[in-house]
């Protein structure tokens, strides 16, 4: 019994010791990972819906979540800041397969900039 208790305590400690490294919360794991919808303000909910539908046509939301949380684009290893969000927005606008309109890109860039600001808060 003592062994089981120690084991349980250890598991709980490990579970709660997982580092929370950013202010931006995510839900799900792997290809199901997404931003926690509760932290998206009402005026950006529409942009979040666009992001959820359009961005996953080519890549998982995990890639975006990691970029925002770490400040590093996972593929290129380059800083993911507001300059980068605009550049990625333009890239997606120009990408033949992205199926994103200019207005949609603009809204998603605004959302990513908001998330970057949130992530930077102390």
- Give the interface with another protein as residue ranges (CB under 8 A): 18-19, 21-22, 29-30, 33, 58-59, 62, 65-66, 69-72, 74-79, 81, 83, 86-91, 93-94, 96-97, 102, 105-106, 109
Element (H, E) at 119: helix 102-120
Q: Which is nearer to another protein, 2 or 19 (CB)?
A: 19
The DSSP letter of residue 96 is: T
Tokens of 15: 């579970």
Least separation in angstroms between residue 84's CB and another protein is 8
Least separation in angstroms between residue 9's CB and another protein is 22
Query: In the chain, what's the furthest Cα-to-Cα distance?
Result: 62
Q: Please list, residue by residue across 18-53, b when 16 or more beta carbons sit within 10 angstroms of its beta carbon and e when fewer do.
A: eeeebebebeeeeeebbbeeeebeeebeebbebbee
Q: Which is nearer to another protein, 51 or 109 (CB)?
A: 109
Q: Which is nearer to another protein, 3 or 19 (CB)?
A: 19
Q: Which is nearer to another protein, 53 or 58 (CB)?
A: 58
């Amino acid at each position: 019994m003592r062994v089981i208790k120690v084991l349980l305590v250890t598991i709980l400690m490990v579970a709660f010791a997982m580092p929370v490294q950013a202010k931006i919360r995510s839900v799900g794991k792997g290809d199901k990972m997404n931003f926690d919808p509760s932290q998206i303000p009402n005026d950006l909910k529409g942009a979040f819906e666009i992001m959820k539908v359009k961005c996953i046509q080519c890549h998982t939301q995990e890639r975006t979540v990691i970029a925002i949380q770490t400040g590093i684009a996972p593929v290129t290893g380059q800083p993911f800041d507001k300059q980068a969000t605009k550049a990625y927005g333009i890239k997606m606008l120009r990408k033949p397969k992205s199926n994103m309109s200019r207005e949609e890109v603009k809204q998603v860039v605004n959302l990513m900039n908001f998330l970057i600001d949130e992530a930077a808060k102390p």
